[in-house]
């Protein structure tokens, strides 16, 4: 019995933005192999009237427009079949910050449904009514959720079995062990007066492992002390 691909459904006003960069390199090869599947659905197909309206003015006044709950609710309903257990995510700057742990959990499931917001936001009722989990990729504002969705999808896809060449290449990266990744070097041994650290060319694997741990902790203390347990910052 053939395993089902990890299935991503993206709800957007701009389906032509997908797969975008996910159609090349490792993710593109995995897409062609059927390791994962992508369906980009146009929210505007459920728009109202002759002009397929999807938004309206905010209740209580204010600038901008808001995606309607009835339109978006219909788009979400049409995207999933009965028994679809995939998490429903809304890319939103007010969501919980995306972490490597959350990415790894999502990558081990059947896939995800991603809603890309636009305008001033999404009617709050559809977030509650369709159980959307709000996810943020950082403390800044984008023009829409599509680029954020590409970031989320890329982070998940690269962890799918067979996408990366070696399992260790994923396990030793930043955030996997709660610290930032150690520095990397390759040929030439000397470049513009800067040499590869001697420990990395000495062949002592225990010493190399210790150096890498120490460098990971040093970089984390300097750049992301919030990642370290209390007392180790």
Residue 170 has a pLDDT of 52
**Residue 153 vs residues 99, 111, 145, 149: alpha-carbon distances, Å:** 13, 10, 12, 6
Report pLDDT digits (tens) over 141-195.
999 999 999 999 999 999 999 999 765 455 666 677 789 999 999 999 999 999 9
The answer to whether 28 and 134 have CB atoms below 8 angstroms apart is no
Residue 167 has a pLDDT of 53
User: Which pLDDT band holds residue 63 (cuts at 50, 70, 90)?
Assistant: very high
As annotated, the residues of the chain forming the CATH 3.40.1280.10 domain(s) are 6-157
The mean pLDDT value for 94-103 works out to 97
Q: Which CATH number fits domain 6-157: 3.30.750.24, 3.40.50.40, 3.40.1280.10, 3.40.50.300?
A: 3.40.1280.10
Which of 38-42, 59-63, 167-171, 217-221 is predicted with the least confidence, judged by mean pLDDT? 167-171
The answer to whether 95 and 133 have CB atoms below 8 angstroms apart is yes
pTM recorded for the entire structure = 0.91
Give, for 6, the enclosing helix (H) or strand (E). Answer: strand 6-12
Strand 133-136 versus strand 88-97 pairing type: parallel
DSSP-based three-state secondary structure for 207: helix
Domain 174-227: top CATH class:
mainly alpha
As annotated, the residues of the chain forming the CATH 1.10.1270.20 domain(s) are 174-227
Q: State how far the Cα of 224 lies from the Cα of 6, in Å rounded to an integer.
A: 32
Residue 159 has a pLDDT of 97
DSSP 124-179: HHHHHHTTPEEEESSSS--SSSHHHHHHHHHHHHTTSTTTSS-HHHHHTSTTTTSS
Task: Tell me whether the omega of the peptide bond preceding residue 186 falls within 30 degrees of 0, making it cis.
Answer: no
The answer to whether 96 and 135 have CB atoms below 8 angstroms apart is yes
């Amino acid at each position: 019995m053939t395993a089902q691909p990890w299935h991503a459904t993206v709800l957007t006003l701009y389906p032509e933005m997908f797969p975008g960069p996910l159609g090349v390199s490792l993710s593109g090869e995995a897409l062609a192999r059927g390791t994962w599947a992508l369906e980009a659905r146009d929210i505007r197909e459920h728009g109202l009237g002759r002009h397929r309206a999807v938004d309206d003015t905010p209740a209580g006044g204010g600038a901008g427009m808001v995606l309607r709950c009835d339109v978006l609710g219909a788009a979400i309903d049409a995207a999933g079949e009965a028994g679809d257990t995939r998490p429903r995510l809304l890319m939103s700057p007010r969501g919980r910050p995306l972490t490597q742990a959350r990415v790894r959990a999502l990558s081990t499931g059947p896939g995800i449904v991603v809603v890309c917001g636009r305008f001033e936001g999404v009617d709050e009722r559809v977030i509650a009514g369709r159980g959307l989990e709000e996810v943020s990729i950082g403390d800044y504002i984008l023009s829409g959720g599509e680029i954020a969705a590409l970031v989320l999808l890329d982070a998940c896809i690269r962890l799918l079995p067979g996408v990366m060449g070696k399992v260790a290449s994923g396990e030793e990266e930043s955030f996997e062990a709660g610290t930032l990744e150690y520095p990397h070097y390759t040929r030439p041994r000397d470049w513009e007066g800067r040499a590869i650290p001697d420990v990395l060319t000495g062949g002592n694997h225990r010493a190399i492992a210790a150096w890498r741990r120490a460098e990971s902790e040093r970089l984390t203390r300097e750049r992301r002390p919030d990642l370290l347990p209390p007392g180790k910052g």
